Chains A and B, each alone.
Chain A
Amino acid sequence: MSGTVSWLLVALGGAAGACLRYTADRAVQSRYESLFPWGTLAVNAAGSLLLGLVTGAVEAGAAGPGAAALLGTGLCGALTTYSTFSYETLRLAERGHGRAALANAAVTPPVALGAVWAGLELTRYLAG
């Protein structure tokens, strides 16, 4: 795969991932009225699970470098976000929701880790 193609795939995946995050975040917020950023936690968990699946598929030889660039670096990379997570944690604390801020900071990393691990293990199991 040429260099230009991989940049194009990362850009395409990044565009789709950011749109998906925006749309999913809106959908979660409109269904669950809460100050806790459930929408962001949901996209970070879903994107991490997908990255685990994609990485597992690449390891197993079922997906190539093109899929890794488009779906892994591009889509999953942009679907998930650290900037939104950190800004929300700061804003929750500033607005007097210290426990929600602490919960967000404490829960998001292990959830994302578990999701990546589950995705990897699932593809490894399927690949036998």
Chain B
Amino acid sequence: MKGSGEDGGPEDGVIDPDVDLHVPAQRAETAGAHAVVVLAAVAAGGALGACARYALTLPWPAAPGGFPWAVLAVNAAGCALIGVLMTLLEEHGGKRSGGAWARHPLARPFLGTGVLGGFTTFSVYALDAVRLLEEGAAGTALLYLGATVAAALCAVWAATAATRAATTRAAVAR
């Protein structure tokens, strides 16, 4: 069954999980005083996400020339979670089985834009790769660059597929 319009299935719906102005409700979410509420949700989520990343990367710094495992793990985990979250928030099977919280207008700004956006990071990934190159560990740098992209894309794809399968099963069982 294919979805239609903004309420859709995999073939339509949002592309940018932070905010997608093709979706009328997201275009309108900063109208008037509500902008403050949305920005507060994004800020609170961003603070939590950044602290969670700090907590996971602080105890496992990469040795000079060493593979930055902690940052790779953080990024892959965040990509898996955004797949689960967006399927629950934006696709109809997910909306039906996600419960009331998934229909809350601040769920995406807080959890997606804030927490997961603040948890994952592109800048630290790029800095780690540049450092590896400067340390003469070109092989490790290239491996890290490729492995992170591959892990991130596999994680988001697998998590999205698994969540779709689970929410479809839940809908059939009902």
Contacts and interface: CB of A to CB of B under 8 A. Distances in A.
Interface of A: 7, 10-19, 21-23, 25-26, 29-30, 35, 37, 39-40, 44, 47-48, 50-52, 55, 73-74, 76-92, 94-96, 105, 108-109, 112-113, 115-117, 120
Interface string B45-69: 1111111011000000000000000
Contacts of B13: 91
Interface of B: 10-21, 30, 38-39, 42-51, 53-54, 75, 78-79, 81-83, 86, 109, 112-114, 116-127, 129-130, 145, 148-149, 152-153, 155-157, 160
Given A22-B42, A26-B30, A94-B11, A83 B17 contact: yes
A7 B54 contact: yes
Contacts of A37: 15-16
Contact of A112 (B43, B50, B123): B123
Given A7-B51, A82-B122, A87-B83, A117 B130 contact: yes
Contacts of A86: 79, 82, 152-153, 155-156
Nearest to B145: A109
Contact of B50 (A13, A39, A48, A94): A13
A85 B126 CA distance: 14
B47 A84 contact: no
Q: Is the interface of B mostly helix, strand, loop or mixed?
A: helix
Most chain A Cβ neighbours within 10 Å, of B11, B17, B21, B109: B17
29 contacts: A11-B48, A11-B51, A15-B44, A22-B19, A22-B38, A23-B39, A25-B16, A29-B21, A35-B15, A40-B16, A47-B122, A51-B123, A55-B127, A74-B50, A78-B49, A82-B152, A83-B119, A84-B82, A87-B17, A89-B153, A89-B156, A90-B156, A95-B15, A105-B149, A105-B153, A109-B129, A109-B149, A112-B125, A120-B130
Contacts of A84: 16-18, 82, 117, 120
Given A16-B43, A87-B83, A90-B156, A82 B21 contact: no
A90 B153 contact: yes
Contacts of A10: 50-51, 54
Nearest to A121: B130
B123 A95 contact: no
